Amino acid sequence: MTNLGLHTLPAGSALFARYAYPPNELGYCGPGDSGVLLRGDDAAELASHAREFDGAWPYLSTIARATGSASLDVDVVRGYWVGGPPLRCVDPAVLLKTLRAAFSGQVTGLLDDVESAPAVLAHHSFHVFVVYPWVRFLDREPTTALKVLQSCRIRWGTVTAIDGEHAVIDTQPLVVEDGKLRLGPQRPERVRWSRDGASFVTEPAPGTLVSAHWDWVCDTLSGDECAALCEATTTTIDMVNAVRRGRGGLP
């Protein structure tokens, strides 16, 4: 049984809940009471909850201003978590200025080293690989850093099997080769699609293309959405490698 409450929410709010719940449940992002997102039965409460995500909200607000939309419009939310045309509307210089103000005084990864360029995207991958400090640990503690970065990024994969309330998906893990961050060959990964009957998707059949965040399946993806997510992710990874090379973090 899927979370029926989400079906009564505006589409953008429901989409935000799908992707924001996994780290919120773990206490990594957002305010307390992650159940607000899982229940999805109060649009006003969920919108208030979303605004307290200090990581995601600056991106959503920036995309919204650039597109003349509201921060929880579905295209804005999909742009941030997945990718697509709304990202091309955002001025990289404006985004960098916004993020540097929002995260001033906090330890970040490469935010102070990045220059305005088309590769600067208002996408979750930018937050994971550039704003979060974990990229700093790729040379010193690569195993731990890769595990966190892999879990935190939105990844795509094809369901190969269902095991109760878990799904096995084939997905590309992050690897470091010759000092460079990249996506490795596909391998199986076990993620949760449901807990005690509550889920964000119906039970996915083998062959279904899905997105995952931390240890949850968040949504099913179309081919175009998967391509947009892959493009945004690899664009950010390529930029990170170039910046790290400039800092001496790569050979």
Does residue 116 have a pLDDT over 80? Answer: yes
Q: Which two tokens stand for residue 104?
A: 């001033």
| Residues with Cβ within 8 Å of residue 232, at least 6 apart in sequence | 82, 83, 87, 121, 123, 125
How do residues 187-234 score in pLDDT, each as one tens digit? 999 999 999 888 889 999 999 999 999 999 999 999 999 999 999 999
Mean pLDDT of 113-131: 95
Residue 3 is predicted with a pLDDT of 56
Q: What was the pLDDT predicted at 106?
A: 92
Mean pLDDT of the chain: 92
Percentage, residues of the chain above pLDDT 70? 95
Q: Check pLDDT > 70 for residue 75.
A: yes
Sign, Cα dihedral of 232, 236, 237, 239: positive
Mean pLDDT of 12-39: 91
- Report the pLDDT value the prediction gives residue 42, as an integer from 0 to 100: 86
Q: pLDDT, tens digit, for every residue of 152-195?
A: 999 999 999 999 999 999 999 999 998 899 999 999 999 999 99
Structure tokens at 235: 């664009």
| pLDDT (average), residues 118-130 | 97
State the average pLDDT over residues 39-47. 87
With cut-offs at 50, 70 and 90, classify the pLDDT of residue 1.
Answer: very low
Asked if 78 and 14 count as a contact pair (C-beta separation under 8 A), the reply is: no
| Res. 102 pLDDT band, cuts 50 70 90 | very high
**Those residues with Cβ within 8 angstroms of residue 211's Cβ, 6 or more apart along the chain or in another chain:** 19, 81, 82, 154, 155, 156, 217, 218, 219, 220, 221, 225, 229
pTM: 0.93
Specify the range with the lowest mean pLDDT, choosing from 114-123, 176-185, 222-231, 239-248: 239-248
Cβ pair 149, 134 in contact under 8 A: yes
Where in the chain are the domains?
4-247
Reply yes or no on whether the pLDDT at 128 is more than 70.
Answer: yes
Which pLDDT band, with edges at 50, 70 and 90, does 238 fall under? Answer: very high
Q: How does residue 7 score in pLDDT terms, banded at 50, 70 and 90? A: low
